[in-house]
């Protein structure tokens, strides 16, 4: 076989292989489109027949094929709404918001549901909701949580002083029902702070938030403050030490009694001994920002705080509060939340 013929043969073979790949890929894509459309069609038929569980199943099958399209997320949300489950609808729409960039239909539905679930201007639930709620049920649900965690709560309190109690009730979601807050040990040196809310539909307490290592009995330790802003956001300020000094600000928004993390600000400060320079790395969610931008955002949260609570017992006890913590303690609704809640609820 001469060289020219061999080159032509290789070229032809490469062309045929590429063409085969394109045809196979195109065929596979076409089959995916067909299967996806069939799922959507069946789901819509089930919706028309008010067979919502079957509709959700078909929409979920569609998501298995293409998870970056809005129809399945919106369809599942509409099925939940038809069953009066706005929380489930909101959850799937949040998934859709993350998967489908800048989709107006999904964003509009989230906004509409939030308006329905949102507390009124006074921060309370609609009168008919709070009036019909038996607070005894709320108390009993919280007592059950406290009893389940009594050993770790007591272990935390014993590390401090006998007069310190690490439990509180505080309406951090603005729905008119106070949330349960407590700090408990989870290992030999560290403790977490938990926030529980009451689910009136399930008639039980549900964990809304776990703040890791709010008290650490080693190294630089951590200092934590929880605040409410004038626009109803729950903001957690936390600082501590690992390989560098780290500062965190977490912003949570309340949706119908539940907390959703909307923003995380981080600042990591370290020192390069080789260059004799300080290093500051700051982020707003996943986007890097300057130190000045971080400080400006931090100050905005501080200026808008209207209430505060301190799960870290060292503030004002073992350490002198810094200027920010002194400011917080002067707020009209500021407290170190130590008292015997279990006795009070009972």
Question: DSSP readout, 235-286?
Answer: EEEEEEESSSEEEEEEEEEEETTEEEEEEEEEEEEEEETTTTEEEEEEEETT
**In what side-by-side order are the strands of the sheet with 277-284?**
287-289, 277-284, 258-272, 245-255, 234-241, 222-229, 305-310, 333-336
Rounded distance between C-alpha atoms, residue 110 and residue 121, angstroms: 19
CB–CB of 314/196 below 8 Å?
A: no
CB–CB of 239/247 below 8 Å?
A: yes
Q: What is the pLDDT of residue 121?
A: 38
Rounded distance between C-alpha atoms, residue 195 and residue 256, angstroms: 15
Q: For the chain, which domains are there?
A: 3-117 (1.25.40.10), 130-345 (no CATH)
Mark 202-229 as b/e (b = at least 16 C-beta within 10 Å).
eeebeebbebebbbbeeeebbbbbbbbb
Rounded distance between C-alpha atoms, residue 273 and residue 289, angstroms: 24
Instruction: Report the sign of the C-alpha dihedral through residues 296, 301, 304, 305, in that order.
Output: negative
CB–CB of 249/304 below 8 Å?
A: no
Rounded distance between C-alpha atoms, residue 173 and residue 118, angstroms: 10
Per-residue confidence of the chain (346 residues) as pLDDT tens digits? 555 545 555 555 565 565 555 555 556 788 889 999 999 999 999 999 989 999 999 999 999 999 889 999 999 999 989 887 787 888 788 888 888 877 888 888 887 887 676 544 333 334 334 445 667 888 888 888 888 888 888 887 776 654 556 777 777 787 778 888 888 887 776 778 888 988 877 788 999 888 876 655 544 445 677 888 888 888 888 776 444 577 888 999 887 677 888 899 999 888 788 888 888 899 999 899 999 999 999 889 888 887 776 655 554 443 444 555 555 555 544 444 444 445 555 4
Residue 345 phi, psi (nearest 5)? -65, -35
**pLDDT single digits (tens) 296-334:** 998 898 888 877 766 555 544 434 445 555 555 555 444
CB–CB of 282/234 below 8 Å?
A: no
Rounded distance between C-alpha atoms, residue 34 and residue 332, angstroms: 61
- How is residue 10 written in tokens? 């290789």
What rounded mean pLDDT belongs to the chain? 74
Q: How many CB atoms lie within 10 A of CB 57?
A: 17
Task: Write out the H or E segment, with its range, that includes residue 167.
Answer: strand 167-170
CB–CB of 78/105 below 8 Å?
A: no
Residue written as token pair 């060289």: 3
Rounded distance between C-alpha atoms, residue 346 and residue 147, angstroms: 12
């Amino acid at each position: 076989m001469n060289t020219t013929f061999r080159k032509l043969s290789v070229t032809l073979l490469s062309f045929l292989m590429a063409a085969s790949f394109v045809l196979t890929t195109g065929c596979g894509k076409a089959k995916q489109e067909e299967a996806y459309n069939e799922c959507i069609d069946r789901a819509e038929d089930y919706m028309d027949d008010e067979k919502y569980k079957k509709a959700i199943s078909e929409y979920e099958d569609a998501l298995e094929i293409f998870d970056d399209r809005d129809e399945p997320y919106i369809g599942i949300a509409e099925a939940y709404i038809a069953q009066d489950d706005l929380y489930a609808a909101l959850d799937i729409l949040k998934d859709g918001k993350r998967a489908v960039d800048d989709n107006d239909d999904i964003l509009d539905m989230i906004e509409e549901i939030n308006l329905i679930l949102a507390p009124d201007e006074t921060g309370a639930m609609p009168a008919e909701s709070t009036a019909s709620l038996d607070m005894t049920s709320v108390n009993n649900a919280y007592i059950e949580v406290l009893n389940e965690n009594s050993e770790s709560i007591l272990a935390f309190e014993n590390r401090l002083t006998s007069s310190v109690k690490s439990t509180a009730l505080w309406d951090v979601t603005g729905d008119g029902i106070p949330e349960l807050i407590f700090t408990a040990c989870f290992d030999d040196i560290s403790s977490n702070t938990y926030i529980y809310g009451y689910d009136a539909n399930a008639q039980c307490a549900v964990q809304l938030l776990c703040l890791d290592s709010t008290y650490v009995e080693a190294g630089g330790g951590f200092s934590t403050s929880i605040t409410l802003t004038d626009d109803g956001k729950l903001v957690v300020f936390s600082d501590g030490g690992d390989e560098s000094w780290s500062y965190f600000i977490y912003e949570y928004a309340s949706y119908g009694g539940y907390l959703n993390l909307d923003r995380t600000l981080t600042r990591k400060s370290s020192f390069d001994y080789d260059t004799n320079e300080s290093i500051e790395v700051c982020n707003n969610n996943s986007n890097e920002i300057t130190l000045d931008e971080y400080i400006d955002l931090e100050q905005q949260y501080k200026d808008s705080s209207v209430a505060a609570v301190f799960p870290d017992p060292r503030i004002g006890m073992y350490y002198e509060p810094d200027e920010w913590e002194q400011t917080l303690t002067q707020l009209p609704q500021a407290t170190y939340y130590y008292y015997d809640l279990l006795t009070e609820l009972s």
